[in-house]
Structure 1
Amino acid sequence: MTLGALLSSLASDRPAITCNGRTITFAELDARASQVAHALVRDGVRPGDRVAVLTRNRTEWFELLFGAARAGAVLVGLNWRLAPPEIAAIAADAAPALVLAGSAERALLPSGFRVVDLDSDHEAWIAGLPTTPPAVPVAADDVVLQLYSSGTTGLPKGARLTHANLLFTPRMGATAYGMSAASVNLLASPLFHIGGTGYGLTTLGLGGHTILMSEVVPSAIAAAIEEHGVTHAFFVPAVVQMLLDAPPGPDLSSLQVIAYGGAPMTEALLKRAIGVLGCAFLGVYGMTETAGSVTALAPADHDRPELLRSVGRALPWHEVAVFDPVTGDPSPVGEVGEIRVRSGQNTVGYWNRPAETAATLTADGWLCTGDAAYADADGYLFLHDRIKDMIISGGENIYPAEVENAVAGAPGVADVAVIGVPSERWGETVKAVVVPADGATPTAEDVIAYARTRLARYKCPTSVDFVDALPRNASGKILKRTLRAPYWP
């Protein structure tokens, strides 16, 4: 099975995607995906070539995904929230044969790429082309999607996902999320994330109706739930918080299951959400490299207070275990180690990153997540800390090394460390701890403004502390646990 074959099996007059007031059926999606595939072939895109997309959420994203799948191409998701230099770096790494961009996002691209404007050129680009798939051989183990996430050094890494990886998502939807062809799924996460495209394929892959939000506006999300009778949704905790804080009004009683993940959910927020919204909640854990969720905390598990901090147990088709990251031996019950995953969902590796691929994928098939956790006797996983110093703010992964590299160049900065501190709205937010240069008196405003010229706004510090020296161990490594201690009980 391939993504293109899956779509062919679903072609009907049932609604597939609704976005910005427009609904297309599965038959229309099937036909338009084939037209995209023919347009790619006509324009010289060969099997294995990268085709990049830079746009906010829109129906055309899925037309391009399935179209690229039928043309044997690899769709590359570009994060429009990044600063232009960051987008340029990722685009240079992916080297796409073609870029499809929204009119507003097109301005973020560097010159030198062939671009199809999704707002002004897309319809003409596919007009008159066949509505049946082109004769391009495609296999289940071909790479079809490449999504980027920063590494611990701040360098972007393109995780390569195959048709076979992504075709677990409908199974995930049916088994973990309780979805079916009758489900109406609200998708608000950005499609350049696995929590967007991967989660979107759950209901879509089962023949259900997807309500695609172009942006996260709590009032619009609530209105869409009522208008379309939404049964399922996935939200990062920050969006759950926003939804609870939005003015009351819309009827949300159609909701059956809200899945949450992408960042830790506090017990207080989770209990409030369960009490206010009255539907079932499903906690999930996964990553781009695993093509989505690998564990789930089932709705019934939420009745057990001792499990509310757990990310659940492995889904049936995965092996998920905790290992000593130094020895590689399995960790005993209750002992913290690194989460590792062995699954058909695991990435085949990073694009142009053989060393990082080798460090992530073991010879016997385990994927090293870099996340620390312990497992109880029943197999429930509890995230303990991060082996990597990653900060998760509003569902976005932020790596301190990248922010430190940017802030270190600010005038008057001699040394800097970046940590995550609690945020009521975003879960975590970025704090820079700065040692001023001799005789210099930089302000917090100066440091933040400098960072914003070099990084996406969500990665930039929201506060700055000034200190005489950073705490270090005997080998000179900054003791970030010491820096975080005053802010985390």
Structure 2
Amino acid sequence: MSATLSGLIRDLGAARPAAPAVSTGGQTVTFGRLDERSSRVAQALLQAGVGPQDRIAVLDKNAPTFYEVTFGAAKVGAVTVGLNFRLATPEIAAIVADARPRVVVVAPEFRALLADVGPDGPRVVQLGEEYEAWLAAAPAEDPGAEADPDDVVLQLYSSGTTGRPKGAMLTSANLLFTPRMGREFYGMGPETVNLVPSPLFHIGGIGYSLTAMGLGGHTVLVRDVDPAGVLALIERHRVTHTFLVPAVVQMLAESPALPGTDLSSLRRIAYGGAPMGETQLLKAMALLGCDFMGVYGMTETAGSVTALAPDDHDPRGPRAALLRSVGRPLPWLDLRVVDPTTGEDAPVGGVGEIWVRSGQNTVGYWGLPELTAETLVEGGWLRTGDAAYLDDEGYVYMHDRMKDMVVSGGENIYPAEVENVLYAHPEVLEVAVIGVPSDRWGETVKAVVVPRPGAALDADDLIAFARERLAHYKCPTTVDFAGELPRNASGKVLKKVLREPFWAGVGRKVN
């Protein structure tokens, strides 16, 4: 397999020119066509004066265009920046100002999001007639530049809603571990049909999709996540694999369209990106009828670094507790759990911060040397900011983001543990646990709960339910009810947004 993104599409275009590469909205692009159109993008970029390590941005929902631009930019040594179409106009402007792309390719429906980009900003090419004319004016000849595997090819931004944008830079060498992941852990190959609902501006979209695409498999993109529509795509395209965040797994399991959908082609669902409650997981396993595999990773590691194999998903077996794990580290990387107070490896069962050493690790954050130095530390380790512990077999059990930990009366409380208990309540649809100010304890636990339709949940009853199953100091002291939880593009609950009203003026950072 090629060591660069540009080499990858060249090889696939030559070896599998007529095979389907990517489909969406009734359109299918073959590998040969994708190779040709990416060469036109490369030539158009050269005509626009784009050179090595210049940035090119894409603002659109999932579409083959993202791959055309990404592979085309790679063919001239440029870097693709994925823009989150869910952001507000000022947020888009902040990322454009930070990344300084030479060209932005934008869908017509999102053109207005570039309104705050100044007159001296990038050239804007609108998808549709303008984009097609831009490509038609360029020759379909590969410029033939040879990239270095360690050159940056992708820049992905954190999806937070405040603060300075943070662009993680990923190289071909980082990203091309994903086809290996596809082959060795997903059981993928050229015959795979891989459904990608996560947005391509996120590692769960572009990174995950390379698992099958990098092996010559067929990628089916989801432009809008609607449970009935996703189920219909699985049936229509005979999808074999997919990666879903827990919120989407739950949507599919509870969709009225599920009983009438043929899912017999579906071999494996990978899940991750946010905590998956055991109750949710068991229900999905029973209803969706395929193998499940848990994964853990992040943008800065170019995707997954652990996997909980399907064989470890045995709710009735002697090791049923493994369902609470995100699996073991992948064999080509090192993983530690570091005690934040001592800087040493935490003992078995001791909670600490996950550190990863791998060829997948980002080379740093664009324009943020201090943050890069804080994240990438001596010895080649990347500090993830995620809290977890290891068991004696090396399985990783997540607790939370370190910054989401609640410290109440000197006791460390990990929200994921509390959420897992509350998810077991039959009338709880979704829950997020946060820390809020307490005059007595410094902070205390609050649960924000989305009830199931028609449920008559009572806060006191829910607190009592938790107290029957957890130490009292870990349990919510208050419960708020909501119609939905705020989420980012990857499906993670934005706990910062939930915390902000309670900590405003208190003097604690809520990021």
Q: Which moved more, 1:122-131 or 1:254-263?
A: 122-131
* Maintained 8 Å contact 2:496/2:510: no
Q: Deviations 1:74-105 (Å, cap 9, x if unpaired)?
A: 00011110111111111111111111100011
Q: Deviations 1:290-315 (Å, cap 9, x if unpaired)?
A: 00000000000011311111010001
* Maintained 8 Å contact 1:51/1:76: yes
Please give the secondary structure, in 1, of the residue aligned with 2:166: strand
Aligned to 1:224: 233
Aligned to 1:343: 358
Aligned to 2:28: 23
Paired-residue identity, %: 57
Aligned to 1:5: 7
Q: Deviation at 1:122? A: 1.1
Matched, 1:261 2:272: yes
Q: Which amino acid aligns with 1:276?
A: L
* Maintained 8 Å contact 1:176/1:315: no
Aligned to 1:69: 74
Aligned to 1:421: 448
CA distance in 2, matches of 1:331, 1:150: 30
Aligned to 1:302: 313
Q: Deviations 1:200-258 (Å, cap 9, x if unpaired)?
A: 11100000011111110111111111111100011101101111121232211110000
Equivalent of 1:14 in 11, 19, 29: 19
* Maintained 8 Å contact 1:152/1:388: no
Q: Per the alignment, do residues 205 and 420 of structure 1 end up closer, same or farther by CA in structure 2, a change over 3 Å counting?
A: farther
* Maintained 8 Å contact 1:471/1:479: no
Aligned to 1:362: 377
CA distance in 1, matches of 2:451, 2:67: 34
* Maintained 8 Å contact 1:339/1:373: yes
Equivalent of 1:387 in 402, 405, 418: 402
Aligned to 1:290: 301
Please give the secondary structure, in 1, of the residue aligned with 2:109: helix
CA distance in 2, matches of 1:417, 1:116: 50
Matched, 1:243 2:248: no
CA distance in 2, matches of 1:224, 1:295: 28
Aligned to 1:332: 347
Aligned to 1:111: 117
Count residues with an aligned counterpart.
434
Aligned to 1:320: 335
* Maintained 8 Å contact 2:96/2:117: no
CA distance in 2, matches of 1:231, 1:346: 29
* Maintained 8 Å contact 2:356/2:381: yes
Q: Deviation at 1:175? A: 1.1
Q: Which amino acid aligns with 1:28?
A: R
Please give the secondary structure, in 2, of the residue aligned with 1:107: helix
Q: Deviation at 1:118? A: 1.3
* Maintained 8 Å contact 2:93/2:117: no
Please give the secondary structure, in 2, of the residue aligned with 1:108: helix
Q: Deviations 1:109-137 (Å, cap 9, x if unpaired)?
A: 12333100012311111115333321434
Q: Per the alignment, do residues 368 and 212 of structure 1 end up closer, same or farther by CA in structure 2, a change over 3 Å counting?
A: same
Q: Deviation at 1:465? A: 11
CA distance in 1, matches of 2:393, 2:161: 32
CA distance in 1, matches of 2:107, 2:42: 19
Runs of 4+ in structure 1 off by over 6 angstroms are 390-393, 416-420, 460-467, 469-472
CA distance in 2, matches of 1:86, 1:53: 15
Aligned to 1:38: 43
RMSD: 3.4
TM-score for both structures, normalised by structure 2: 0.78
Q: Per the alignment, do residues 423 and 379 of structure 1 end up closer, same or farther by CA in structure 2, a change over 3 Å counting?
A: farther
Equivalent of 1:183 in 185, 192, 213: 192
* Maintained 8 Å contact 2:59/2:85: yes
CA distance in 1, matches of 2:137, 2:287: 50
CA distance in 1, matches of 2:67, 2:193: 17
* Maintained 8 Å contact 1:76/1:145: yes
Aligned to 1:125: 134
Q: Deviation at 1:324? A: 1.5
Q: Deviations 1:253-280 (Å, cap 9, x if unpaired)?
A: 1100000001011101100111111100
Aligned to 1:49: 54
Mind listing any 5+ residue stretches in structure 2 that lack a counterpart?
A: 406-414, 420-431, 436-442, 453-479, 487-492
Q: Per the alignment, do residues 129 and 150 of structure 1 end up closer, same or farther by CA in structure 2, a change over 3 Å counting?
A: closer
Q: Which amino acid aligns with 1:320?
A: L
* Maintained 8 Å contact 1:341/1:367: yes
Q: Per the alignment, do residues 465 and 23 of structure 1 end up closer, same or farther by CA in structure 2, a change over 3 Å counting?
A: closer
